[in-house]
Structure 1
Amino acid sequence: MDLWTILQDVVVLLGASLLIGGAFSRFGQSPIVGYLLAGMLLGGPGSIHAVGSEHEIEAIAELGVALLLFSLGLEFSVTRLKKLGTKPILGGGAQVVLTIFLGFAGAKLFGMSVREAIAFGTMIALSSTAVVLRILMERSEIEMPHGNNSLGVLLTQDMAVVPLALLMTILGGEGDSGEIAWNVIKLILMAAGLILGLFALNKVAVIALGTLTLHRNRELTAIFAVVTGLGAAWASHAVGISPALGAFVAGMLLGSSAFATQVRADVAPLQVVLLTLFFSSAGMVADPIWIVTHAHWVALVVALIIVGKLAVIWVIFVLLGQTTRVAAATGLCLAQIGEFAFVLGAIGRSGGVVSESTYGMVVSAAIVSFFLSAMLVPVAPQFGNWIAQRFGTSGTPLAGTNQRPDPPDVAIIGFGPAGQIASQGLIDRDIKVLVLDLNQAGVRKAKQLGFHAEIGDATQTEVIEHARLAECQVVVITIPHHKSALLILNTIRCRAPHVHIIVRTRYEAYRDDFKTAGADVVTGDEMQVGESLFSYVQRWLMNSPEHRDGPVI
């Protein structure tokens, strides 16, 4: 298809997503619902056919899920991932197996053959990484107990995509047992090689970036972010594993470096665009006319899947020793069909295992469950609290169990000579200090003094939010550039009127600008230089023999 036709369809789809998603957001609903509805209305069967490049857009949009997992990986270094524990991983594996069995049993009751019933259970076993993690990250709940559980289960499900795809291939009768076994062994070896390769490349790239002056070469971190995130997705796809899982691993390996905050901010705009395309393209798969004409069956299947998955995950996590409150909230978060159902269904359909009617039912149920999840996931903590009250269990309400680390007490933006002097009184004190700087030398110096330091451009909103500057008690802005400092001040002040902000200004002419923007204290270079000059002149006059008896300034 012509490039400009595809571009036209992308622009039309994003424009409709902007309008419809904005309308849903205005009325307190998730914009994801609007993105899905935009896709259903503009493209695919039963629509007005304003978009005809659905397959090309779908291929591009899959990168959005990969970048979402890449950004999440930047939040989770290897150490932090270990803190998730084994329960979410074990729970995820048990959930996949048990859901396949229950899906098989339910499909057999409706008269499907054994092979198609197994395929049906396989398609509904996975939950939606894109929907769940997007909402949990927006609501800062990814580090709450049910958020940790959901992340672990979703990562396990992503790892299960390849064996489930092999299962669908086996059901289709393609390949003998020896060939399948060799494919599995080859896949494991290639996955191990990919992880080692990503680790080595990340180390080399971080060392290379560390030798550059990033405040003069800002585009380099943006290029690095895109190459790493999309490159990891491509490499994972090339070796036959989930692109999203490979991107997560790449982000996790990079997450322990000082560049994590800035890379996350640089990749965020592209991630937002591609994720919006993903949800819109997912909506284009559904046939609204088919859904309406088979509404009673679709509603029944969706209700059984939501209730069944909720019950399965609830029971599994209770058996793993977690509270009813957390288990129920986790179950509600993951009670939907995931986007990989489309992929597994396509494999099964091409192999003759899945009929057109079954595939249409699963796709329709997945889209409807996407809509419902956009409303159910945000209320998961309240649902868990309500269940705990109904069953009379004790424990702290989920709203108060956020395990996110405490924000810094003091943030210093810019760690040149002015920032280093300002930090002298904070050394070896029981105060959490965060330093943000684009200069690698400044970050290195801050770490030598015992501060937590990250490379980041604080003029970007994403960096300010990720660094949690709005939650600090004091923010010190020492960068000399007037407009950049003013932009940072305005951004922080809009988000946190209570934060005490101290600003350094190079010229006294800008003092009123900073005061008007909401700075609590403004200290000027010219004033400090003048006072220092005055001190030296006064000292010379007092020590000079010919002026010793004269007037003292």
Structure 2
Amino acid sequence: MGGLMELWTILRDIVVLLGASLLVGGVFSRFGQSPIVGYLFAGMILGGPGSVHAVGSEHEIEAIAELGVALLLFSLGLEFSVQRLKKLGAKPLLGGASQVVFTIALAFAGASLFGLGVKESVAFGAMVALSSTAVVLRILAERGEVEMPHGRNSLGVLLTQDIAVVPLALLMTILGGEGSAGEMLWNVGRLLLMAGGLILGLLLLTKIAVLTLGTLTLHRNRELTVIFAVVTGLGAAWASHAVGISPAMGAFLAGMLLGSSAFATQIRADISPLQVVLLTLFFGAAGMVADPIWIVKHGHIVGMVVAALIVGKLLVIWVIFAMLGQTTRVSVATGLCLAQVGEFAFVLGSIGRTSGVVSEDTYALVVSAAIVSFFLSAFLVPAAPRLGNWVASLSGTQTEATDDSDPLSPPPDVAIIGFGPAGQIAARPLIDKGLRVTIIELNQVGVRKAKQLGFHAEIGDATQSDVLEHARLNECKAIVITVPHHQSAMTILKHVRRNAPYVHTIVRSRYELHTDDFVSAGAHVVTGDEQQVGESLAGHLDEWLTTRESSYDPASSGTRSA
């Protein structure tokens, strides 16, 4: 009975936190700021030290909220398949590894100057070296900048940092003096073996799952993709945690392995609502960790540390990417995007406290700096491209390497939603024209047919705006909607008009009476089935009459043919 009561208490706290996040995040959004700042404020006000203590299940909520980061990485993995990750290049990954090493070295030097011991200085450097995957990718995704050069660099660095969490966690344990050198070496080897086994297992399971789903008719079993997405994303996170790897990294690998399948678009849309809820909980839980009273009392120290970290990380990443051949504009923008303390500082700090290498004051300082940097990132990340352009203009390099703003892949020229007989007929003029054509279809048969014709095809329910966004239909020049169901076609058209008001839109209307509705909703051209059928019938009837009159013998009837 006690366990049941505890469950309802946790549920109440989750509802209270989400409700407060909705209100405070809405206020910040109303004034043109990121709602993330509102979520953090809501957490600081409701729970944790120095708050009103309206939420008491901060540890349970924090554990649940970590799944939000995992689903964010899973969703991003769907976006970046193995092929697209190859296009990312080695520079962002190399830059990420260099950034972690140099940031630890500089933070160690700074902490030593302020009187921390050698071990605690190293631990401090490890905690502040990582940036926030949840904050940066969320803001970049909101602004559509993940595929911009500074977005690609940020992604590569963040992925490298997620990989670095494992050795840094081992480093924190080693600094605490737990275990001999041989035991530590054995733990590292065991971890690498388990990581390799996890990757092979995920590869095998995703292949089997894709083959299984390929035999199903998804438009009749829509719930299957939802279940599959949740099982795969959260299952990969659990499996990674079980073998001692970052759950977010395992979820990313699972998403990346699925990213090249035709189901990627629909899966990403299906997990989006759950991901939003869990990420909101994550930021609320992050706010609950901070102690506003401690931050105010030690405001001068927190301010100095935050300023030093932002400037230091910006300079380190700027120099590293400049040495790797990136332009000044992109290097500076990347540096500003990643100039904060990440959420894994909480995890590493907790390990450090347990092993006795990190004091309570140092932990409180790092947590406070992380929370303040979260707040500032909501303003700094959107300003990153502008700062990059400004610095480039000051240095006289604003005209350099103009091709660095190209996205990973160009958007489609034409999109056809629904690839039944009508869609296939509509696509005939596009074959061998050199245009980039994307097909969105729920039926696996239609997707196979589209690929046979040389088109890019994805399985997805286009009535979900996330599917259209993921397929980049807002960047198309023309969209053809051939879905026969009136309400579904109207929903798709409204999504298109809201997200891409200038794209040329052609809509199929099954019945003539719906034509005006589509025109009022913003369709440029509406083609009615009834009109087409009537014209076809009239054409065949006219052909029959012509044939009949030409074969008619006027002598036998005393009349003349016209």
Q: Secondary structure at the match of 1:428?
A: coil
- 2:98 aligned with 1:94, yes or no? yes
Q: 1:391 to 1:500 in 2, by over 3 A?
A: closer
The answer (yes or no) to whether the contact 1:77–1:253 under 8 Å persists in 2 is yes
Could you tell me which residue of structure 2 aligns to residue 138 of structure 1?
Answer: 142
Could you tell me which residue of structure 1 aligns to residue 8 of structure 2?
Answer: 4
- 2:288 aligned with 1:284, yes or no? yes
1:499 to 488, 496, 503: 503
Separation (CA, whole Å) in 2 of partners of 1:98 and 1:552: 95
Separation (CA, whole Å) in 2 of partners of 1:44 and 1:533: 74
**Number of residue pairs the alignment of both structures matches:** 553
The answer (yes or no) to whether the contact 2:95–2:317 under 8 Å persists in 1 is yes
Separation (CA, whole Å) in 1 of partners of 2:137 and 2:288: 21
- 2:277 aligned with 1:273, yes or no? yes
Separation (CA, whole Å) in 1 of partners of 2:536 and 2:406: 49
1:317 to 311, 314, 321: 321
Separation (CA, whole Å) in 2 of partners of 1:230 and 1:361: 32
Q: Secondary structure at the match of 1:423?
A: helix
Separation (CA, whole Å) in 1 of partners of 2:561 and 2:486: 37
Could you tell me which residue of structure 2 aligns to residue 28 of structure 1?
Answer: 32
The answer (yes or no) to whether the contact 2:108–2:122 under 8 Å persists in 1 is yes
1:476 to 477, 480, 484: 480
The answer (yes or no) to whether the contact 2:84–2:408 under 8 Å persists in 1 is no
- Shift in Å at residue 299 of structure 1? 0.6
2:262 to 233, 258, 261: 258
Could you tell me which residue of structure 1 aligns to residue 346 of structure 2?
Answer: 342
Q: Return the letter of the residue paired with 1:89.
A: L
- Shift in Å at residue 62 of structure 1? 0.3
Separation (CA, whole Å) in 2 of partners of 1:372 and 1:62: 21
Separation (CA, whole Å) in 1 of partners of 2:524 and 2:319: 53
CA-to-aligned-CA distance 1:332-368 (integer Å, 9 cap, x gap): 1111111000000000101111111111111001100
1:519 to 523, 536, 540: 523
1:212-251 aligned at under 5 Å gives the runs: 212-251=216-255
Q: 1:152 to 1:540 in 2, by over 3 A?
A: same
CA-to-aligned-CA distance 1:466-523 (integer Å, 9 cap, x gap): 1222222221111111100011111111222322211112222222221221222222
Separation (CA, whole Å) in 2 of partners of 1:223 and 1:31: 29
Separation (CA, whole Å) in 1 of partners of 2:33 and 2:353: 35
The answer (yes or no) to whether the contact 1:40–1:287 under 8 Å persists in 2 is yes
CA-to-aligned-CA distance 1:72-116 (integer Å, 9 cap, x gap): 111111121112222211111111111111111111111111111
Q: Secondary structure at the match of 1:240?
A: coil
- 2:310 aligned with 1:306, yes or no? yes
1:441-460 aligned at under 5 Å gives the runs: 441-460=445-464
Could you tell me which residue of structure 2 aligns to residue 209 of structure 1?
Answer: 213
- Shift in Å at residue 130 of structure 1? 0.6
The answer (yes or no) to whether the contact 1:144–1:398 under 8 Å persists in 2 is no
Separation (CA, whole Å) in 1 of partners of 2:382 and 2:230: 30
Q: 1:447 to 1:332 in 2, by over 3 A?
A: same
State, as a whole percentage, how many aligned pairs show the same letter. 73
Separation (CA, whole Å) in 2 of partners of 1:230 and 1:269: 14
Separation (CA, whole Å) in 2 of partners of 1:24 and 1:274: 19
The answer (yes or no) to whether the contact 2:482–2:508 under 8 Å persists in 1 is yes
CA-to-aligned-CA distance 1:140-164 (integer Å, 9 cap, x gap): 1112221111111111110010110
- Shift in Å at residue 529 of structure 1? 2.1
Separation (CA, whole Å) in 2 of partners of 1:171 and 1:266: 43
Separation (CA, whole Å) in 2 of partners of 1:519 and 1:393: 44
Q: Secondary structure at the match of 1:83?
A: helix
Separation (CA, whole Å) in 2 of partners of 1:386 and 1:460: 39
Separation (CA, whole Å) in 2 of partners of 1:280 and 1:334: 21
Could you tell me which residue of structure 1 aligns to residue 422 of structure 2?
Answer: 418
- Shift in Å at residue 543 of structure 1? 4.1
1:372-451 aligned at under 5 Å gives the runs: 372-396=376-400, 401-451=405-455
Separation (CA, whole Å) in 2 of partners of 1:326 and 1:510: 49
- 2:154 aligned with 1:150, yes or no? yes
Give the structure-2-normalised TM-score.
0.95
CA-to-aligned-CA distance 1:251-289 (integer Å, 9 cap, x gap): 111111111111111111111111111011000000000
Could you tell me which residue of structure 2 aligns to residue 52 of structure 1?
Answer: 56
Q: Secondary structure at the match of 1:69?
A: helix
Q: Secondary structure at the match of 2:177?
A: coil
1:355 to 354, 359, 362: 359
Q: 1:552 to 1:123 in 2, by over 3 A?
A: farther
- 2:336 aligned with 1:332, yes or no? yes
Could you tell me which residue of structure 2 aligns to residue 103 of structure 1?
Answer: 107
- Shift in Å at residue 170 of structure 1? 0.7
Separation (CA, whole Å) in 1 of partners of 2:281 and 2:406: 31
1:129 to 112, 120, 133: 133
Separation (CA, whole Å) in 2 of partners of 1:552 and 1:198: 77
Separation (CA, whole Å) in 1 of partners of 2:561 and 2:49: 90
Higher deviation after alignment, 215-224 or 51-60: 215-224
Separation (CA, whole Å) in 2 of partners of 1:551 and 1:471: 61
- Shift in Å at residue 535 of structure 1? 3.1
Q: 1:87 to 1:496 in 2, by over 3 A?
A: closer
- Shift in Å at residue 541 of structure 1? 4.0
CA-to-aligned-CA distance 1:516-540 (integer Å, 9 cap, x gap): 2122222222222222233333444
Could you tell me which residue of structure 1 aligns to residue 298 of structure 2?
Answer: 294
Could you tell me which residue of structure 2 aligns to residue 173 of structure 1?
Answer: 177
CA-to-aligned-CA distance 1:44-81 (integer Å, 9 cap, x gap): 00000111110010000001111111111111111211
Separation (CA, whole Å) in 2 of partners of 1:242 and 1:90: 20
Separation (CA, whole Å) in 1 of partners of 2:91 and 2:560: 80
Separation (CA, whole Å) in 2 of partners of 1:544 and 1:52: 88
Q: 1:400 to 1:552 in 2, by over 3 A?
A: farther
Stretches of 4+ aligned residues off by more than 6 angstroms: 397-400, 549-553
Separation (CA, whole Å) in 2 of partners of 1:393 and 1:477: 45
CA-to-aligned-CA distance 1:163-217 (integer Å, 9 cap, x gap): 1000110111111111111111111111111111111111111111111111111
Higher deviation after alignment, 286-295 or 221-230: 221-230
Q: Return the letter of the residue paired with 1:12.
A: V
Give the structure-1-normalised TM-score.
0.97
Separation (CA, whole Å) in 2 of partners of 1:224 and 1:218: 10
